[in-house]
Amino acid sequence: MQAITDDIKNKDFKRVYLLYGEEAYLKRSYRKMLSDAAVPGTDTINRAVFSGKGIDTMELMDLANTLPFMSDRRLVVVEESGFFKNAVDDELVDFIKSRIPDECVIIFDETEVDKRSRMYKAVTAAGTVQEMKTPDEGELKRWIAGYLNRSGKKIRQNTAELLLEWAGTDMESLSHEMDKLISFTGEEMEIRPDDIREICSIRISNSIFSMIDAVAEGKAGKALDMYYELIQLKEPPLRILFLLAREFQLLLLTKDMSERGLSQSDIAKAAKVPPFAVRKYRSAAGKFSRKGILKAVNDCVQAEQDVKTGKLEDRLAVELILLKEKPDSM
């Protein structure tokens, strides 16, 4: 992303950019910075947005070829077009590759792309391609600290970790939670763990993990209370059952890899979770035997089958899982 930052700083723009990936917050932020640097947001005459499937490519190219009005540049933004996954006509590919006027900047904003597509290769040859990935744990903590600092707030590293545990690593969700924290803490300078527990929305996966942790401690009643809270929040029992099975599978993976001496980063990569989350999975996995975790996974699978075949009511199926899996059997 440094290349885009440099282009913005130097006002030296490529003719075409492709921003893609699942991290919507980063995509939107860089798209806005690029757009505003190329053509001010107040200049609606020289800005155009094409959105969705079925875009008229001839209209797009005609507009891109139109000289800007009382401005150095014309900006064309194309979002979720599908041009990078589906077949496109030769003329558009040739236009992107070599015929975009010097006075025009085109920004493609896509979620998914096929790197083998002709459009992807055309943008790569003519401009800048940038995938927007979720930053790693260290980068997220620095971003959180910077975001809060702009509002005069401080946060300790362990508190930032708690925020990540509660809100997840999606930057859009994190920004919303931080805005709530900024408002909630008022004139207080530091964001504290109790502030997060008081005001932040807990992810359902974190609730599921807490339920499993309660079971591990022999507190089935506590696990059931948390389950009923999720039911009150209109979470479908089958979704809760699926997430329970997923969490038990992550515990099994963590236990197996830990016993083989693999590192925290290796486990995080295999489990597709942030490195800080591995610590809690290791702690929980240590309370169970491998045989017990495997039994829990199989019980979840069987419960799902029983629900789908009508042998069990979905809400009861989850209750039985929470009551059945006892720490001394794991």
pLDDT of residue 275: 79
pTM for the model:
0.68
Residues 6+ away with beta carbon under 8 Å from 81: 50, 51, 52, 53, 55, 108, 110
pLDDT of residue 328: 47
CA distance 104 to 81: 19
pLDDT at 324: 80
Q: What is the pLDDT of residues 220-268, one digit of tens each?
A: 899 999 999 888 878 889 989 998 999 999 999 999 999 999 998 899 8
CATH number of 137-199: 1.10.8.60
Segments in 217-236 forming alpha helices (H): 220-232
Q: Which two tokens stand for residue 233?
A: 């929040």
E-assigned strand segments in the chain: 16-20, 47-51, 74-79, 104-110, 128-131, 154-155, 190-191
pLDDT at 330: 43
Q: Which CATH architecture has domain 204-329?
A: Up-down Bundle (1.20)
Domain boundaries, the chain: 2-131, 137-199, 204-329
2-131 against 204-329: fold identical: no
pLDDT score of 329: 45
Q: Which residues of the chain have pLDDT under 70?
A: 325-330
Find out if CATH 3.30.70.1050 is the number for domain 2-131: no
Res 169: pLDDT: 84
